[in-house]
Amino acid sequence: MIVDGKAIAERIKSSLAEEISKSKKKIRLAVLKVGKDPVTARYLEVKRKFAEAIGVDVRIYEVPTDISNNKLREKLSEIVHIEENTGVIVQLPLPEKINMQYILNAIIPGKDPDMLSSGAWGKFSTGKSKILPPVVGAVKVIFDENKIELKGKNAVVVGAGRLVGKPAASWLIGEGATVSVVDENTKNPEDYIKKADIIISGVGKPKTIEADMVMDGVIAIDCGTSESSGQVAGDIDLEVVKKASLFAPVPGGVGPITIAMLFKNLIELSK
């Protein structure tokens, strides 16, 4: 079965729009955007359209690419302390010269729907957070909708990045799965992948996982995004669908749900 992320996201969108309409709250997402990269602008436009559809205001703060670490942190801190800003995110990626985590840590957990600050991560990793990182929230929605039981399952997370790998592994452990994390330092990673009941990949490298590397009936969740021949591509080769019992592809799988979960988090923080 192929996950229809767009359909799931639309259902969440309708639910959030109804909730906001009933509450009559004014909710605003503030976005700090560095530079004028067209790819970044496209991703931001998707978020803006989702926000408009559910009745959330979006305020974009643009700064030049040559801004220093300290000036960028000062600007972000200023945005965080504007009372009308319900939540604040930094549109990634940032220029290479910028210390990303230093910047993100200027966002207080109570205004961090992306959950990328160290404060928000600490709450999540110790089980004290009422919200989940958006990618993890999206994966949870997929598993809940398909009644996937995680306890006792052998799960492999491919990639140990801050956006996908680390939060996914932490959440899976908390749900009772047996978890292995495979990255560039892992010897013979295919040995782990072949035994996996569940694969979650967030490497950002096309065809990292091919059909001959997985077992029949695998649950394969692709969270990696890159470009291949001018097209958006995932980590998991589409041929895997022939062997998978459940497959979330790129594009159209986890991505749309992740945006929906960002706004679900924003509304939760507004409470």
Confirm whether residue 161 is marked as ligand binding. yes
CA 79 – CA 29 distance, rounded (Å):
11
**Amino acid occupying residue 46:** V
**Strand pairing category for 87-90 and 154-158:** unpaired
CA 230 – CA 228 distance, rounded (Å):
5
Rounded to the nearest 10 degrees, what angle do helices 5-23 and 134-145 cross at? 110
Task: Give ∠ CA 143-132-259 in degrees, rounded to 5.
Answer: 80
Q: Are 137 and 131 in contact, with CB atoms under 8 Å apart?
A: yes
User: Of how many residues is the chain composed?
Assistant: 271
Helices (H) and strands (E) in the chain, counts: 9, 10
Confirm whether residue 224 is marked as ligand binding. no
Q: Are 245 and 1 in contact, with CB atoms under 8 Å apart?
A: yes
Q: Give whole-number Cα distances, 251 to 12, 111, 209, 232, in Å.
A: 18, 29, 16, 7
Confirm whether residue 160 is marked as ligand binding. yes
Confirm whether residue 255 is marked as ligand binding. no
Q: Give whole-number Cα distances, 89 to 29, 31, 32, 98, 266, in Å.
A: 8, 5, 6, 16, 10
**Feature table: binding site for NADP(+):** 159-161, 225
**Feature table: binding site:** 159-161, 225
